[in-house]
Structure 1
Amino acid sequence: MAEVSNNDLVQIEEEYEDDDDDDDVFDIMLNPGGDEGSSFRTRNDPSAPYQRTNVTERKGALDIRCTCLDVIHGLVSPDANEFATIIVLNFRFDSRKTARRILAVNITLQFAPEQPGGPEPEVFRIAPYDSMVMVQTTQTEEKTTMAGVSLGAPPLVGIELGAELGWECSVNRETTDATKVIGSIDLLGKTYGNADSASWSLIENSTTKTGVPSTMRTAILLKRQDEERFRCNFKIEAKVDPKSSMEKSFQRLFGVRPKDDPLLFDPQLPPTNKLQTYDVTALESVDLDSISGVTFQTVFDSAVKHI
């Protein structure tokens, strides 16, 4: 798998540089450790290695998983001599224990030909895209400043007398904070050519400390020059609360372990059409925003029954 730089986490780290918690950043796809179960990795089925549904799955006090919902191969448009692929992924971030939470997540997907040397797929559009905020909060802060001078008397039998004179200045201000979702199209591992990567960052509201959204569905439109098979190397990094980072089960599930197999794609496979029926001759016309989205939490309104 291609190595992905950790520089994308700089912004996330800056969001928490003033946090009193000594949080740790964990990459859920590192090298293997010795704990029981740590050798688990998500592999491609040897009998059907292409376009697996279960992309990755890490379960414990905090769950992180990704599922491939739809893969559609076709053309950019009926008049264009250019191939295209739409990939829809669903990410889930869940807490199974009280007061446990995921503070931030960074997701990177990098596309490349299955055989080195071939033309690379171009990441043309993604959704969600750009910087967005959700669940915005406002609070009032009061800051008091003390100013003054100290008046002292000459020492008398080794004792210095003094008095404090001064005044207080109080300033009230309103501050806003929000959960952030940032999506971008990137160029990784090279400095020229078309974009080959898509990335998303989720950052919790640092005021309410309610964690990142529980679900994010992303959509990617790729442009391809040929019908050759290609791959996706992916990386998910999570910043968690201190208790979770110290827990043995989290270290076993999210600590040192082998990388998951990359996702493999075959343009000869038929469209999945699980979310909707796509026009494979005009994939550029598909509204990616309509099939993507972010959910902070799901409320089960029919939980109370009257008998």
Structure 2
Amino acid sequence: MSNNEAPAARLEGLEDENDTEVFDVGMFESGTVGSGFHIKNNPKDLYQRPDIIQRTGHGVDIRCTLIDVVHGAMSADSDYWATILVLQFRFDPQKRARRVAEATIELCFGASDANKNLPEIDAISFDGNYSFLSSKQSETITKGCDGNIGASYGADLGASIKWEKTVVRETADATTICGGKLVVDNMPPNRIAKWTLLENKTLRTGVPASIRVAVRIKRLDEAIFTCLPRLQCKADKWTTLKTFFGGVPEDDPVLLKPELKPTNKLMAYDTEELGSVDLQMLSDVTFTTMILDAQK
């Protein structure tokens, strides 16, 4: 194969399930070889890059942005340092009827140096099961069969029977978000924050267009630590992977430096009492943004 020839598409991990296809946005790039579509750290500005993930080319643009990073202490009398991160994930369809039916978000935290203490996830927003955009519908199911009975020995006698059973039931469905904390390699402490987004299968409206999540990290020192994002999506069958060529490294881990000042975009944080911040108040879910006064 010549140097100018693109390698054969290698869609590892691709699965078909009904009308959906699975793709891992952390493992592929869109475009030709060398386009480098994964996000790398800027050597001139290594720490806390705002653009975590950017993926296009599936009929759906997928982005993750770091909104707020605040370093401080769990409380004034605590022995632990703390960090709060707020991230926003966006799933923007670029064509009609395109959607992401399911998304799994993972943030894995680690030490930048093997000799340093591991950070621990203290709390996350959307911890547990949450539902939105609920719907109900009635279903009628009819089951039955036909049969014949008759006399033997050629007697001209017979009868037909028919049995039917009708069941009317009401089914409920909703878009759901399920979050939790996990360990790495079966070894504490909890270092993975995970959220699973599932669409309302009845309405097929896709996952929310935007979700904002928050994480609080508990630390034993002021050393630089890392956050490695991973995002896996299941899309409708029309949202294809036709422009993917080869595998590329995952996005660079986000380097978090406790010496940096708080960003304070969503609120003014008390850096001496980060343990008392309500993470759910920093979070948000948006299905679409309506412009009510567009006509002028």
User: Fold conserved (TM > 0.5)?
Assistant: yes
> What residue in structure 1 maps to residue 275 of structure 2?
284
Is 1:170 aligned to 2:161, yes or no? no
Is 1:72 aligned to 2:70, yes or no? yes
Distance 1:164 1:49 in 2: 82
Q: Is this contact kept in 1: 2:30–2:37, CA < 8 A?
A: no
> What residue in structure 2 maps to residue 248 of structure 1?
242
> What residue in structure 2 maps to residue 201 of structure 1?
196
Deviation at 1:20, TM superposition (A): 3.7
Distance 2:277 2:249 in 1: 36
> What residue in structure 2 maps to residue 159 of structure 1?
none
Q: Is this contact kept in 2: 1:32–1:258, CA < 8 A?
A: no
> What residue in structure 2 maps to residue 294 of structure 1?
285
> What residue in structure 1 maps to residue 6 of structure 2?
none
> What residue in structure 1 maps to residue 295 of structure 2?
304
In structure 2, relative to structure 1, the CA distance for the partners of 1:146 and 1:37 (3 Å cut) is: farther
Deviation at 1:30, TM superposition (A): 1.4
> What residue in structure 2 maps to residue 114 of structure 1?
112
Paired letter, 2:127: Y
TM-score by length of 2: 0.87
Distance 2:200 2:251 in 1: 30
Distance 1:175 1:234 in 2: 36
Q: Which residue, out of 254, 257, 263, partners 1:263?
A: 254
Is 1:235 aligned to 2:251, yes or no? no
In structure 2, relative to structure 1, the CA distance for the partners of 1:33 and 1:56 (3 Å cut) is: closer
Q: Is this contact kept in 1: 2:148–2:159, CA < 8 A?
A: yes
> What residue in structure 2 maps to residue 133 of structure 1?
131
Q: Deviations over 1:114-170 (max 9, x none)?
A: 0123211110111122101100000000000103433368899xxxxx975212111
Deviation at 1:32, TM superposition (A): 5.8
Paired letter, 1:301: L
Distance 1:111 1:178 in 2: 31
In structure 2, relative to structure 1, the CA distance for the partners of 1:32 and 1:20 (3 Å cut) is: closer
Paired letter, 1:290: M
Q: Is this contact kept in 1: 2:105–2:230, CA < 8 A?
A: yes
Q: Is this contact kept in 1: 2:30–2:56, CA < 8 A?
A: no
Aligned-pair RMSD on alpha carbons?
2.4
Is 1:186 aligned to 2:166, yes or no? no
What secondary structure is seen at the aligned counterpart in 2 of 1:172? strand
Distance 2:207 2:150 in 1: 55
Deviation at 1:257, TM superposition (A): 3.3
Deviation at 1:31, TM superposition (A): 5.2
Deviation at 1:194, TM superposition (A): 1.8
Q: Is this contact kept in 2: 1:131–1:183, CA < 8 A?
A: yes
Distance 1:211 1:155 in 2: 64
Distance 2:160 2:114 in 1: 75
Distance 1:234 1:79 in 2: 32
Output aligned runs, 1:47-66, within 5 Å.
47-60=44-57, 61-66=59-64
Q: Is this contact kept in 1: 2:52–2:229, CA < 8 A?
A: no
In structure 2, relative to structure 1, the CA distance for the partners of 1:90 and 1:140 (3 Å cut) is: same
In structure 2, relative to structure 1, the CA distance for the partners of 1:291 and 1:154 (3 Å cut) is: same
Distance 1:226 1:24 in 2: 43
> What residue in structure 2 maps to residue 39 of structure 1?
36
TM-score by length of 1: 0.84
Is 1:98 aligned to 2:96, yes or no? yes
Q: Deviations over 1:44-72 (max 9, x none)?
A: 01011110000011123201100001100
Would you say how many aligned residue pairs link Structure 1 and Structure 2?
279
Q: Which residue, out of 80, 83, 86, partners 1:82?
A: 80
What secondary structure is seen at the aligned counterpart in 2 of 1:147? strand
Distance 2:43 2:195 in 1: 30
Identity of aligned residues (%): 40
Distance 1:257 1:238 in 2: 17
Higher helix share: 1
Higher strand share: 2
